[in-house]
Amino acid sequence: MADTWVGATAKQIARAVRRGDTSATQVVADHLDYLTHADPVVAAFRTVRAAEAVAEAEKVDDQTEMANLPLAGVPIAVKENTPVAGLPTWHGSAGARQAVAEGDHELVRRLRGAGAVVIGTTRMPELGLWGVTDDDSAVTRNPWALERTPGGSSGGSAAAVSAGLVPIAHANDGLGSIRIPAACCGLIGLKPGRGVLPVNLGADDWFGLVEHGMLATTVADAALGFAVLAGRTPQPLSQPGRLRIAVSLKSPVAGAGADEANRAAVSTATRLLGECGHDTLTADPAYSTSLGLRGIATWFAAAYRDVEAAGIERWKLQKRTRRHVAMGGWAWRRGYVREEDRQRFRDACLEFFVANGVDLLLTPVLAGPPLKAGAWHRRGWLTNVVANVRNAPFAAPWNITGFPAMTLPVGVRPDGLPAAVQLVGPPGTELLLLAVAGQIELAAPWRRHAPGFPRPN
């Protein structure tokens, strides 16, 4: 038996609990104890359900048959914009907080049904709008470098996994909110394609852009989490055949190209793909200025629709968010958010894969290092918008198309921060993306947690 289960993978924990090598109660107790001294360093959690988690772990241990529990005893965290029964749904700030949820989101229900224990909810920026995570109560920090952000909007979930507070964490992604934090914190982060997983119950889904997923330290854990969320029986990943993979450094946003370290990460991934037996070629998707403007208008309008649908009082929101909501109302009333525009881009991207005869696309995730951590919610709206758009331009197009996309680590940047790339596939390629990521992981294993984490007591 391990001295502590902190730092173990979800698969290792679940296997040990099912075999009787440990108990769910012991695993959860280890993580709750670790969380009390480690979370103040990174501020990943909004709410910790200590007593409730222990009681739920005991219920897992009381089950006489665990063979059907792929996440038996695994402590998990849920992003705070996703309903967990008995907790307020925060949406990133006190001003955006909603009432105590009477029931679990369907995905939380699936996680519990697989034997997972929800130990708390993780922090996010207000309304999930920003690629940094902070509010009046705390600044969430990147375990790799505490002066940097873990990204957003699933920043708390990413910080929690990277610091070893939980082995896996729920996240969701409207314009990159799984993949950006995964890149900032050196994690695996899969955004499934449209319609694969249910979206938030009773909440706007950003015009169909939002998808749920999981953040993990290994491909095996990412695949396990995806299977549970999708309501599927977990199966071993199949080895992919020889694939043809397009490589693109072109930025969807003019003037926001990848820095040297992110370009080097793509070069590293390209080399590894070749060593794994795949063919690569240079080819760029058909990004356009019109696409960028329409995408930004949709970002604005999503905030407006969220506030209107939830009945949130605007004066309670952060100043930057109030301006964002106002711009969203303006964009919505003028008809700048149109499904036909998104459909045209989806069609063009499908044609990109067909015309080039490619199975997947490789790109950067970030344009530079993670942004500095700090009180971004006190800064001006334009400062936030420009910083967010320029720092992470590569993720958003794949929410617009609804294609599956994932972040995978590829070593370390010269500045000591994690290096990462994005893999994108046409609809239905979630398992293929995971399989290729598994090949990369085997060829060039990455550090599972940030240096210095998990921290000793």
Residues that are catalytic: 79, 153, 177
Q: How far apart are the first and last CA of the chain?
A: 19
Q: What angle do CA 79, 83, 88 make, to 5 degrees?
A: 90
Number of C-beta neighbours around residue 336 at 10 A:
17
What is the Cα–Cα distance from 252 to 24, expressed in whole angstroms?
46
Q: Which two tokens stand for residue 244?
A: 């043809």
What is the Cα–Cα distance from 199 to 172, expressed in whole angstroms?
9
CB 239 within 8 A of CB 436: no
Query: What pairs with residue 145 in β-bridges?
Result: 142
- Give the amino acid at 234: P
